[in-house]
Amino acid sequence: MAKKKSSRKIIIQSPKGMRDILAGDRSWWDKITKVFSELKDIYNFDLIETPVLEYAKLFETAMNKETDLISKEMYTFKTKGGDFLVLRPEGTVTTARAYIENNLSHKGQPQRLCYFEPMFRHENTQAGRYREFHQMGFEILGGANDSIYDAEVIQVIYRLLQELKIKNIVLKINSIGCRNCRPNYERRLKAYYSKYERELCADCKKRLETNPLRLLDCKNESCQPFKKNAPNILDKLCSSCSSHFKSVLEYLEELGIEYTLDSQLVRGLDYYDRTVFEIFSGGEGAIALAGGGRYDYLAEKIGGKPTPAVGGAIGVERIVDAMKAQEIILEPKEIKKVFFIHIGEVAKKKSLKIIEELRKKKIAVAEDLGRESLKSQLKLANKKGIHLVLILGQKEVYEESIIIRNLKTSIQESIPLSKLTDSVKKYF
């Protein structure tokens, strides 16, 4: 007989595609956060935070309803007040919304904004593809439609991956043209694919009608032969898009950033024009670590003024996975912490006050005052990798002193309690 699923088991499971980030992974996340935080200042980006919920209409206006993000992947729900909200699926549309709503264009142009936030997409989960994941994004909005900003966005993302010591970074780049030249290319692409309509996969049959550019993005084995001879978009760009793209590439060359031209790179989100790019680590079949491009029409589409813009985002979980797979060694963090040990009831009574004095002076103190034996408290200090311990016994309480012991060298000294803070600081 089939076993009945226990309801308790369901309650204690995180939702599919969503994970806890536990202390064991903290060192990776801390390193990434630190590098992001340093680079945003060095590259002059301002951090913004947007609500985790947005109106569904915002994304539905920003993108075609046929894109996977809109048709399949949004977590949409109706509130008690009757509004349709979504869990934020990505950061570009929200940043553009915040830029317009808060009149950021008046605060100087262009605005250089960045974010480090969780995103939610109801995707088919697999390695590197989660339903809750985090993105570090860099967006440049407003000002001139200058190709140097495209290069700057790629530069900061590239540098971030380099700082994290990610190996074999491959930047793929393309231009998908503008409002003027792209329709022309799409017509040619449609005409080419129409010849094979009957042989195309079901998705591509749909794309042929709704979003021909995405035909180039089909991963289905049966559609691959048609991609080979499809018209090349780079041959069909208007002169303005062509010179924009050429100068992006020149800036990259000047920066020493290697790139691979990929005329079939089209991106899944459809607010892009001109430059699009993706960054991988490793060869064929590798999953994208970052992606982005220019989105000059997005602000206008969601109700703002025409605003040239370009940006890109890095997937944090994918970076963590890549760093682990590539066995990237993080420098061990220096633990500036003391472990407080008490022996006996008299000492226990005094402990909290002494610990509080240390904490007030910004000294991190670990302890487990619920444990009584010296041995088990020492064991815990060792387990936590803390080498500096403070030991308070009955004798010390009466003498108003305390023992500082270095577990690595086994050297210890007794010092007056009144000098405790200064003595601990000397060890750091």
Shortest distance in whole angstroms from residue 21 CB to ligand HAM: 13
Q: In Å, how far from its chain's centre is CA 260?
A: 24
Please count the CA atoms within 13 angstroms of the CA of 108 that sit on its side-chain side: 6
Closest approach, Cβ 137 to ligand HAM, in A, equals: 5
Q: Which of 18, 169, 230, 288 binds ligand HAM (CB under 6 A)?
A: 288
Residue among 142, 177, 212, 312 that touches ligand HAM (CB under 6 A) = 312
CA 77 – CA 87 distance, rounded (Å) = 9
Q: How far is it, in rounded angstroms, from Cα 427 to Cα 334? A: 12
Site string for ligand HAM, 135-164 (x = CB under 6 A): x-x-x-------------------------
Cβ proximity of 245 and 256 under 8 Å: no
d(CA 268, CA 258): 23
Q: Does 97 bind ligand HAM (CB under 6 A)?
A: no
Q: What is the largest CA-CA distance in the chain?
A: 94
CB of 184 closer than 8 Å to CB of 236: yes
Residue whose pair of structure tokens reads 């969503």 in the numeric block: 18
Which of 91, 393 has the CB closer to ligand HAM? Answer: 91
Q: Of 110 and 315, which has the nearer Cβ to ligand HAM?
A: 315
- CA–CA separation, 65 and 61 (whole Å): 8
The single-letter code of the amino acid at 9 is: K
Q: Binding string to ligand HAM for residues 289 to 308, with x set by CB under 6 A, is what?
A: xxxxx---------------
Task: Tell me the per-residue interface mask from 318 to 337 with ligand HAM, x by CB under 6 A, - otherwise.
Answer: x-------------------
- SS3 state of residue 125: coil
Segment contacting ligand HAM by CB under 6 A, of 129-137, 189-197, 214-222, 354-362: 129-137
Closest-approach residue to ligand HAM (CB)? 315
Non-local (6+) Cβ contacts of 296 within 8 A are: 145, 178, 273, 274, 306, 307, 308, 309
Work out whether 212 is an interface residue with ligand HAM (CB under 6 A): no
Binding of residue 58 to ligand HAM (CB under 6 A): no
Spatial distance between the Cα atoms of 293 and 153, rounded to a whole number of angstroms: 9
Q: Which of 276/354 has CB closer to ligand HAM?
A: 276
Task: Compute the distance between CA of residue 428 and CA of residue 188 in angstroms, rounded to an integer.
Answer: 68
| Interaction of residue 130 with ligand HAM, rule CB under 6 A | yes
Show the site string, 159-188: x = touches ligand HAM by CB under 6 A, - = not.
------------------------------
CB of 289 to ligand HAM, least distance (A): 5
Angle ∠(189,73,209) on CA atoms, nearest 5: 25
Residue 106 CB, nearest approach to ligand HAM (Å) = 22
* Least distance in angstroms from the C-beta of 120 to ligand HAM: 9
> Residue 427 corresponds to which tokens in the numbers above?
């060890």
Q: Which residues bind ligand HAM (CB under 6 A)?
A: 90-92, 121, 123, 128-130, 133, 135, 137, 139, 269, 288-293, 311-313, 315, 317-318
